[in-house]
Amino acid sequence: MAGARGLGLVLLLAACASGGPPAGDATPVAPARSATVRTNADIILPEEIAAARATDAYDAIMRLRPRFLAPHASMDSRRSEGVQVVVDGVTLRGSSELRTVPASSIVYIRYLSELEASGDLVTRMVTPFTITPDSQAADWDELVPHRDAGGRRWRAGVAKFFVDGVIDAGTGWLVEPDAEGEGLLPFWPDPGHYRDAVARFAGAGFQCATHATGDRGVREALDAYRGAPAPRRGRHRIEHIETLQPADLPRFAAEGVVASMQAQHMMWLGPDRDDNWSRRLGRERCGPGRAFPVRSLRESGALLALGSDWPVAHYDPRIGLAAARLRRPPGERDRRPYDDERLDGLAALEGYTTGAAATIGEEARLGRIAPGFAADLTVLAEDPVECDPDDLPELPVLLTVVDGEIVHRGDRI
């Protein structure tokens, strides 16, 4: 694994995939922070996460986002909540990088600047601007000058789009309707307006990231990217890809589009196809290479980045690694996997590390432990490639280092 294996392992949250900002070179290690922190599990309840999966994707994100990024009067008034709570929880669980919830306004750039200036940004972040269907060219022009906003541990430069919703709720954009007769409406009422927005931001050097769960949504995103310039850093990417048409699978590799996927979302799908997601799609669209096709995309030559889809799913990369390898919930050893799209341990780790780094164009600085790379690493009690995937979620995190600074130290070190 070219230096990314062993006791010290780089674990990057991809986001959605997917990626994080430029890192600083190795610096003298700072004193360790306290490992006694709250996490987003204390803020978002399990029933809220379940509800988020069953509703419109964009509305779900917007509903959960204020828990973390609500515009408070000052940083001091939110230090015990919001971003600070989450970044501390992330480092406790062994991640040196996090892609934040999409920002609908440049106000969040100020928040991240203040957080870093106070010394409390203990993870790396790429924060995208959310581009909504009702936005117009004048709105886009206001965001474009902020493409290169950033600090040592965070940056902008990404435009995020929602081209559809979620299949569970009948809002994923499909080529053919689902079993309930739904899935034929895009989130952008005028798909041409979406393509115009992609062209505007891509032309300005932004990386474009499009939420697309349904096969029609995936196809439309691929078509929009095919006619758009390449980003200044990284590659354009599609988030989720819960199902796709067979003819579109090879396009990811051929057209240089990143498949940014979240294996946690399919852990709870029934192997007998008796869950709501599978019933809606039917057996053909749930077949091999069609349902959350992480392995098929990787084997086709596509760049695969793995992540969590936080805050809709938990950001812990150990859970994501286990889900990618099992295709079922970790710990439920008697449960059959959903299908044969499981990744092996090395492929799963690459999705969280080298794949995530390449997604944002930082493969020469991030994603592995090597001379000249950023001093971002996580020390786990066992090698996650060799560890039993059912045991991964409880694998102790001994140390998390970001930019040469120890931001979490376990009891055993």
Which is more confident, 208 or 38? 208
Q: Domains in the chain: how many in total?
A: 1
In this structure, the chain runs to a length of: 413
pLDDT at position 129 is 94
The mean-pLDDT minimum among 39-43, 63-67, 198-202, 371-375 falls in: 39-43
Candidates 16, 64, 70; CA nearest to 44 is 64
**Mean pLDDT value across residues 280-292:** 93
Segments in 54-136 forming alpha helices (H): 57-64, 66-69, 82-92, 107-117
pLDDT at position 4 is 36
Judge whether residue 5 has pLDDT over 70.
no
Report yes or no: 82 and 67 within 8 Å, Cβ to Cβ: yes
Percent of the chain with pLDDT over 90: 68
The DSSP result for 175-217, as a single string, is SS--TTS-----SSSSHHHHHHHHHHHHHTT-EEEEEE-SHHH
pLDDT at position 57 is 53
Which is more confident, 184 or 111? 184
Whether residue 47 lies inside any domain: the answer is yes
Q: What is the dihedral of CA 44, 47, 48, 50, to 10 degrees?
A: 120
- Domain span holding position 96: 8-409
Token pair for residue 386?
Answer: 């060799």
**Rounded Cα gap, residues 114 and 120, in angstroms:** 9
Using alpha carbons, list the distances in angstroms from residue 18 to 153, 315, 352: 15, 12, 8
Whether residue 300 lies inside any domain: the answer is yes
Judge whether residue 380 has pLDDT over 70.
yes
Using alpha carbons only, give the angle 269, 320, 85 rounded to the nearest 5 degrees: 115
pLDDT at position 314 is 86
Average pLDDT, rounded, for the chain: 81
The end-to-end CA distance of the chain, in Å, is: 25
**Mean pLDDT value across residues 131-149:** 96
**Mean pLDDT value across residues 42-47:** 37
Judge whether residue 255 has pLDDT over 60.
yes
Whether residue 3 lies inside any domain: the answer is no
pLDDT at position 268 is 87
Whether residue 338 lies inside any domain: the answer is yes
pLDDT tens sequence across 325-343: 999 999 999 999 999 999 9
pLDDT tens sequence across 271-284: 999 999 999 999 99
**Rounded Cα gap, residues 371 and 157, in angstroms:** 27
Candidates 355, 332, 351; CA nearest to 341 is 351
The DSSP result for 307-318, as a single string, is ---TTTS---HH
Which is more confident, 26 or 96? 96
Which is more confident, 262 or 74? 262
Which is more confident, 198 or 95? 198
Whether residue 2 lies inside any domain: the answer is no
Judge whether residue 93 has pLDDT over 90.
no
CATH number reported for the structural domain that contains residue 62 in this entry: 3.20.20.140
Confidence of residue 27 (pLDDT cuts 50, 70, 90): very low
Whether residue 252 lies inside any domain: the answer is yes
**Rounded Cα gap, residues 70 and 55, in angstroms:** 21
pLDDT at position 95 is 53
Alpha-carbon Rg of the chain, whole angstroms? 20
Is residue 191 reached through a cis peptide bond, with omega within 30 degrees of 0 on the bond before it? no
pLDDT tens sequence across 79-91: 334 444 444 454 4
Q: What does DSSP say about strands 129-130 and 158-162: parallel, antiparallel, or unpaired? A: parallel
Which is more confident, 36 or 342? 342
Judge whether residue 7 has pLDDT over 60.
no
Using alpha carbons, list the distances in angstroms from residue 349 to 144, 192, 352, 357: 34, 37, 5, 12
pLDDT tens sequence across 143-186: 999 999 999 999 999 999 999 999 999 999 999 999 999 999 99
Q: What is the pTM of this model?
A: 0.81
Say which residue the tokens 């739904």 belong to.
Answer: 182
Using alpha carbons, list the distances in angstroms from residue 386 to 7, 295, 349, 351: 11, 19, 11, 16
